[in-house]
Amino acid sequence: MASMPRHLLGVMFLVASLVPPAQAAPGDEEAPFGLTWGPMSQVPRPSEIDREANVTALTYLAGHPPAIGSSTGKVVLEVCREEGLQRIVWFSRVLTASQLQSVYTGIYQEGVRLYGVPVAGTRSFSVTWPTARTVLTVHAVPGGGEQIIMAADGRDYAICSQRHRDETGHTADSHTAELLHEQVR
């Protein structure tokens, strides 16, 4: 597992053999962990389930597929009632500065290999691959250390988020923002 940090993004996108795939129709777009964006017929048993309006968040803690790998802290799948799987958020475990550099560099390089040079964010260690609808960022953790967070969206996430706003008064994005805030409190 010593090479895991170097290939973490690749692992995120290619561990299909470890996770039962959603039933995909020809031409469906592949999501991380071997899943497919859209309706899902089966998923691994989550550690936690949170539902609000049209969005169900399935949380998987470290060691429970799809939250596998030595650098993984947890994974959250956001499943929309009509659009199916539309967001995957990956959280690293809490990392020291030296671990952070190694893990982040591996993820970044794999992202560049797969999607090209990203767009820099407003914070250091924050980038976006717009064509892949993927964001990579780092947050400080109270008590020391840092955590890498990566979010990837399905092509219908904006539709799902708008439906969520229509039903609740806030977008589905606000829940991811809460998850990010929760990590930095």
pLDDT for 66 equals 94
In this predicted model, what pLDDT tens digit does every residue of 82-119 receive, in sequence order? 999 999 999 999 999 999 999 999 999 999 999 999 99
pLDDT for 21 equals 38
Query: Which residue would you say has higher pLDDT here, 107 or 18?
Result: 107
User: In a 3-state reduction of DSSP, which class is residue 156?
Assistant: coil
- pTM of the shown model: 0.82
Q: Is the pLDDT of residue 122 over 80?
A: yes
pLDDT for 85 equals 97
Angstrom distances, CA of residue 120 to CA of 2, 40, 97: 28, 33, 20
Q: Is the pLDDT of residue 158 over 70?
A: yes
In this predicted model, what pLDDT tens digit does every residue of 55-77 receive, in sequence order? 999 999 999 999 999 999 999 99
Poorest-confidence range of 7-21, 36-50, 132-146? 7-21
Name the residue with tokens 């606000």: 174
- d(Cα 151, Cα 132) in Å, to the nearest integer? 10
